[in-house]
Amino acid sequence: MDEALKTELAKQGIFTTTLQELYNWGRRSSLWPLNFGLACCAIEMIATTMARYDLARFGAEVFRPSPRQADLMIVAGTITKKMAPQVVRLYNQMPEPKYVISMGACAISGGPFKQGYNVLKGIDRYIPVDIYIPGCPPRPEALIDAFMALQKKIDAQQLTGDNRPRHLNAAEPSEFPVPHFGAHDLEPPQNPEVWHPPLVNISVSTADIDESGIA
Amino acid sequence: MNLESLKSEIEANVPGCRLEIVSNPSLSGQHSLLLGPSRALEVALFLRDAEALRFDYCSNVTGIDWPAPTTKGKVKEMGEGFEDDAEEEEAQLTGHLEAVYHLYSMEKKHGPVILRMKTEDRVERVHLPSLTPVWRSADFQEREIFDLFGIVFDGHPDLRRILMWDEFEDHPMRRDYVEPDDYEYEPTAHDDVLRKTQQHHGGAA
């Protein structure tokens, strides 16, 4: 339907909509996050839900203590390799449709612990992430911005066609393999179905390093 | 507190214990007592319970890894220079692990006294007596040393890994630890990390 006509009809007291709009409106307006935090980012997440920042304005005030009742996983904090399987398992236990916000430098990439031996280098190695928020930790405004970005993303989703979201496509998985504790590292160290190393240009000027091996 | 007098006091009260003063030449001058593992528990009990000492608080336990020297020529030179006996020369070659205890007295308001214990090598003979029966606060810290350095504390009530998972086999704080290679994506790589990242991307960027 033509947007201008729709607005005109609304002015006359006639409300028109589509099933897709209603469906997306319902989903984006009641995103219930899973009630868990991993590190200092969780403190900012808690602050976001409190009166000063008031996440309830976005329909996300009900933090559920059970993954069965949650729509949104806010990965707030450092994911140690010892904790990673539990985070993936919690994600698997959430019913579709489900979304993930990767909050803060650690959840995105490992952050300041990236080159340590015991911190997972980003939760996106095992589960698909919808929104990334940089920051150490991100302020509540950043989390609210991520919420609004996620709501925009949900609003734009098509219910049919090739671009339909994962939960409407039976061929797409809703659960992802939980990594196992290995003798030296998590096994596998990442899920190749979910994560591909981003292509970055890591070449440096030859003055910085000896001639062997680098362009 | 004078470490010399403390040493002779312990030796007088715990017969057969091996003690040695390790001096610290730095400005802090925190000298420590190297304790032979065989009578360590008795020495610890004496330090805790003796009327004049009363070291009732173990504030910190930590580990140190002393790997074998890599340059063999240097070892030989040292061995000749100091004329070490066979046992010490072997310890030079294999390296050893060390546990360090910091003791204070809440009651007498003195301290710290620093105790050290050495293992015989870094591979097989890595057992030391646990001092957790004497100072309860050493419990988690000895577990951490067991986890990260691989010292086995005999007599510890609950010796399990505390930070890494049970299936983990390495000891990450040892100097020869090889960390898992998950350097596929390093946006700001440099030095060693840059080299590791390049190996993931076929040798070159």
Which residues of chain A does B193 touch, with a Cβ-Cβ cutoff of 8 Å?
115
Please check whether residue A171 touches B, CB under 8 A: no
- CB contacts < 8 Å between A and B, how many? 67
Cβ atoms of B97 and B66 closer than 8 Å = yes
Q: Per-residue pLDDT for A102 more than 90?
A: yes
The helix (run of H) or strand (run of E) holding residue B20 is strand B19-22
Burial of B94 (0-12, 13-18, 19+ CB in 10 A): middle
Q: What is the pLDDT of residues B46-95, one digit of tens each?
A: 999 999 899 999 999 999 999 888 765 544 444 444 444 445 555 457 88
Instruction: Report which of B192, B180, B181, B204 is spatially closest to residue A202, judged by C-alpha positions.
Output: B204
Residues of B with CB under 8 A from a CB of A: 163-170, 172, 177, 179-180, 182, 184-187, 189-190, 193-194, 197-198, 200-201, 203-205
Predicted confidence (pLDDT) per residue in A179-210, tens digit: 999 999 998 988 988 888 877 665 554 444 44
Q: Which residues contact B174 (CB under 8 A, 6 or more apart)?
A: B65, B67, B122, B148, B149, B150
Q: Give the other-Cβ count within 10 Å of A122's Cβ.
A: 23
Query: What was the ipTM of the complex prediction?
Result: 0.77
Please list every residue in chain B whose beta carbon sits closer than 8 Å to the beta carbon of residue A201: 205
Query: Which single residue is written with the structure tokens 């204070």?
Result: B104
Q: Give the tens place of pLDDT for each residue, B48-60.
A: 999 989 999 999 9
Task: List CB contacts of B34: < 8 A, sequence separation 6 or more.
Answer: B19, B20, B21, B22, B116, B117, B118
Cβ distance B185 to A197 less than 8 Å, yes or no, reads: yes
Distance from CA of A203 to the nearest CA of B (A): 5
